[in-house]
Structure 1
Amino acid sequence: MNRERPPALTRRTLLHGSLGLVSATLVNALPSPARAAAEAGDPIRQRQLRARLDTLLAGDGDPSRAVPGAALAVLRDGKVLVAAAAGHARLGDPDGHGALALTPYTPVRVASISKLATALTAARVAEQGLLDLDADLSGWLEFRLRNPAWPQAPITARQLLAHTGSLRDPPVYWMPAPGSIAGLLSAEAFTPARPGTVFEYCNLAYGLVATALENATGERFDRLAQRLALAPLGLEDCGFNWSGVPAARREAGGTLYRRDEAGCWQPQVDAAATLLGGSEPVILAEPGFELPTYRPGRNGTLFSPQGGLRAGVLDIARLAQAFARGGPGEALASPVGPSRWPEASTADIWGTGPQLLPARAYGSGEGPDLIGHAGQALGFFGGAWTTTDGRDAISYFVTGHDPQAELAAHPATGLTHWESTLLAIAVEIRRAAG
């Protein structure tokens, strides 16, 4: 559920961070990382949360489930009810880069939670009359977009954002610059279904929407998203693939990890060498390509609209809150297609971007119905959700895992042990606050 398969880091791309290994011995030798709380919050609740995060950090009694870092935030009426983090944003490495504690402000790659920002950007462009979410997207592309099995059926931006556009992810759904996204649309990128009729989760769909947004506005997707979606929410220091993120915040950014068979934590994205001293967006490109030469509208995958947003745990809570009643993304949170929202007991209900998570799906039904998105990629597992009335928002994530460990996905939601545990903690904090 909500999984990406981002490109591997190779020397032929601009993603050329250090991939040094960190041994278990080195990790154990590090000083206990600082635990950070954010803004005002009940001190007792903060201490209880940090203790719970410490337990999760160690694997909840199962060492194979240990994680490098974990963070959680709960907002009420726009203010921080509680926010805390435990563990490391970055582990020390053999190249001499020191360890760094994870805080509620630490920006990390938030995987498919990024899709909320992409959907909100599309809505903003549509509000300006530059894009019609329900029209044939071909009008905003340099090619005719059609499913070969349904050549007369148009594919729309709304269908793509809701994963009903009859596309599926091919083995590779990203195109290095200066290539065109059209090169990804082989026959295997389409399902047999008529567009608009069947749900198929698809990351490539978001690359197509981003490409159309660039054509509609003449502006690069990363800049467009920051200007129209992020900055109006007070998230101007967040960005896709580090675009627009201030240097100091980027240097304090977090790395995502996976543990190898030898028990070593191995960086998967945003290693220290990528974060320290960098100023340009991190993109996939052929050798010799210069970003200023990129022509908007050619390849929306360049800035990872499906999963490349860098943001902290507090940031993604505020992003999710935009989709609640009265928020700028409210219209996008209506179910696409028939559903029994919010009475359903399954998690397969989607709006135009956000997922609709009924209380009966993730718990006993006593918690709130939620709107938001989960994310799972490169060692990141997390979620960002808002209650339907927008009063409360919750967010959480862990920053690494052991691929050999049992993920123990929830049967109704597909959420892993870490996600289900953090979601339950957040819901309990919300309940206890009255």
Structure 2
Amino acid sequence: MNGGGTRPALRPAQLNALARDLLEGSFPSIWVEGEISGLARPGSGHLYFSLKDERAQVRCAMFKGKAQWLRFAPRDGMQVLARGTLTLYEPRGDCQLLLEHLEEAGEGALRRAFEALKAKLEGEGLFAEARKRPLPRFVRRLGILSSPSGAVIRDIRSVLARRWPLLEVELLPVPVQGAQAAPAIIETLRAAYAAGRHDVLLLARGGGSLEDLWCFNDEALVRTLAASPVPVVSAIGHEVDFTLADFVADLRAPTPSAAAELLVPDRGEMRSRLQHLQARLRRRLDQAMERARQRADHAGLRLQAGHPRRRLERGRERTAGLRQRLQATQTARLARRQAALDALARRLAAQAPALRLQRLRQRLALLGNRQHTALRRGLQARLGLLRELGRGLHAVSPLATLGRGYAILQREDGQAVRAASEVAPGEPLEARLAEGRLRLRVDGAAP
């Protein structure tokens, strides 16, 4: 109790939790340089130590997932540069730095220069995803900028030969470490741009320290890569290594071998896909052939129905039918008129005197003659029309052509022969003439 009244008290765990949230919310990821002290590496693989200078120290922890990628062995007394997040270990209330990255302090200046140049180029848009180009679906000619003597080029060639032997690979040898590496790579890149021979350029190197890979952080080299007229793939170092060339490249591969797998398809998969496409194409062709065969059969039937011989036969049949109908009509008409005349004569004979009967008979004979003449003229006119129809049919008949000295060659099945290539030596044929037929046998076909 006090004059201000009672206040609820915090428990230590609550206080530490609040302090941890305050620290983690107030401090972003920070870089700290100092000397390792009290290094402990338990069986879990984690690292625990302090970073100290002449005035203070801070506890640090690095878990196994990050520690396994270290490229050096930390030890007491070593000057290092660490990046991590400030937090509070609640069970003991200790303030500690939870590390994400650790490197020897000699790389500190390079790291700061790297971050400054990265921020500058990123601000200019050189690393923007919008400016990066997709790789060709099938790369025909690949230019590899790498050391000709390292294991990297052997690994790349091995993967490419196994996955896609059709690829044409051209090694563009360059140094990949040292002060002269960046100018040499720039010169080789510009020569490759001018040659215009490659679909893709691959920049590859094995792993190393930040200092070993520093040539790939050269500003002039990064700008030259950004100006490339063809897609550029970077495969520099291991998966945890990043250079400015990786950020500006159109595609970054975690390792050189992974880059080779990304650049070309697997020939086994392509073979399976081609076989599938071939089967689909064969089915489509079979279906198209069947439809074409059906159309050809239908066209053949229509051609047979419209053959001149069939048309001539139908014309003859129609003419014969018309002639029979005409004759039957005329005969019936004559019979009806003759019956009428006979009936009239019988009535007159029964009713009129002999003289009148004589005149009537004369008139009847005259009328009969006129009727006979009219019928004959009508028949002649109808017969003339039939002759005209017959001549028209004869003009389109193949038999008229035969009358001029030509012949029709036919096989045994009655099909007409139109070309020498349709018959074979020794095949029996029949020649239809204007008068009669000849049996023939083919001696040989002229070319």
Q: Taking structure 1 as the reference length, what is the TM-score of the superposition?
A: 0.17
Say which structure is richer in helix.
Answer: 2
**Higher RCO (C-alpha 8 Å, min separation 6):** 1
* Structure number with bigger Rg: 2
TM-score (norm 2): 0.17
